[in-house]
Amino acid sequence: MKKTGIINSEISYEVANMRHMDWLSIGDAGMPVPAGTKQIDLALAKQTPSFMEVLENVLQELKVQKNLLG
């Protein structure tokens, strides 16, 4: 069993399988998600976990490249 880093198996899987130029979006409740887009709901209660808690944990394991489009 994984003891450190992202312990949510769905997020851990997605981060581990990301390659160059792949995109990951993190949003709060109510963020529109296009049909056919994989969605992982982490909500335990309103604003739990917070956007920043999720972002900080994901950034511990995910190498983010500079956005070349913007």
Yes or no: say if 56 and 11 are a contact pair by the CB < 8 Å rule.
no
User: Which one of 2, 19, 20, 38 is the catalytic residue?
Assistant: 20
Verify whether residue 50 is a known catalytic residue: no
From residue 27, alpha-carbon distances to 2, 47, 59 in Å are 25, 11, 15
* Residues designated as active site: 20
